[in-house]
Amino acid sequence: MKSLKMLVATGLIGAFMSIVPGTTGVLAQEEGVWSLRGEVALNDAAPLADTKKQNTSGKMGRAYRQQPPLIPHRMEKYQINSKVNQCLRCHDWPYNTEEGAPKVSETHYFNRNGVALDTIAGTRWFCTQCHVPQTQARALVKNKFKNASEVD
Ligand code: HEC
Ligand code: HEC
């Protein structure tokens, strides 16, 4: 009985430690590791991106063949939630032909088991998980990234 109480207590302390905001942040900072969110606690909202900086003049190329293409137009007004996806009214077939928009890739109609569907796969529903607006942004961390076409 005693050991069971001990177990429960240890479990509670563990759970408590993991929900105290900043506990892991402090540890990470001491080790010199920084989150790309900066010093914003997980349960606080990070500052909104400056959408005015979005680059909507032409298309930036893809850095490698399989890269999800960047979004070359404004998109902050198109809602995506569990019921509605406004990107599809232009990018899903057959609307894409009416709107003159590129059709979502054929790969987006296959579910995770490789079964071809007639509608967009659930795994591709939240477009902005992979497709992000174009911007001439400064690199978040110093790096030596090269486009696949530039690698010797
Ligand atoms: C009103 C119609 C419309 C809506 C809504 C729309 N798009 Fe587009 N989208 C376009 C058109 C037209 C183009 C082609 C623009 C060009 O070639 O410059 C395009 C281009 C793109 C491209 C580039 C494709 C490529 O092959 O380079 C991506 C990615 C994209 N849109 C994603 C999205 C996402 C994600 C949403 C929702 C947040 C969205 N679009 C909503 C019309 C739309
Ligand atoms: C899991 C990541 C992911 C999600 C989610 C996703 N895409 Fe894509 N998308 C990609 C990748 C990777 C490519 C390029 C490779 C390919 O064609 O599959 C692509 C290609 C595209 C293209 C270019 C098609 C072409 O033939 O050049 C368009 C347009 C597009 N996606 C729109 C969308 C829209 C709209 C949504 C939301 C309904 C969406 N994608 C969701 C990863 C994703």
Q: Summarize pLDDT for 1-25 with one digit per residue, the tens.
A: 444 454 444 444 444 444 444 444 4
Euclidean distance between the first and the last CA atom of the chain, given in angstroms as a whole number: 66
Alpha-carbon distance of 133 to 74, in angstroms, equals 8
Ligand 1 centroid–CA 102 distance in Å is 7
Is any atom of ligand 1 closer than 6 Å to the C-beta of 108?
no
Average pLDDT on 68-97 reads 96
What are the structural domains, with CATH classification, of the chain? Answer: 1-47 (no CATH), 49-137 (1.10.1130.10)
- Mean pLDDT over 131-140 rounds to 87
State the average pLDDT for the chain: 82
CA–centroid distance, residue 77 to ligand 1 (Å): 13
Contact 75, 81 (CB under 8 A): no
Mutate to test the pocket of ligand 2, among 130, 132, 134 (most ligand atoms within 8 A of CB): 130
* Residue 66: pLDDT over 80: yes
117-130 mean pLDDT: 97
For residue 115, is pLDDT > 90?
A: yes
**What is the band of 46 on the pLDDT scale with cuts at 50, 70, 90?**
confident
Q: CA 109 to CA 58: how far, in whole Å? A: 27
Q: Which residues contact 69 (CB under 8 A, 6 or more apart)?
A: 59, 62, 131
The alpha carbon of 31 and the centre of ligand 2 are apart by a number of angstroms equal to 37
Strand partners, 46: none
In whole angstroms, what is the distance from residue 104 CA to residue 91 CA? 6
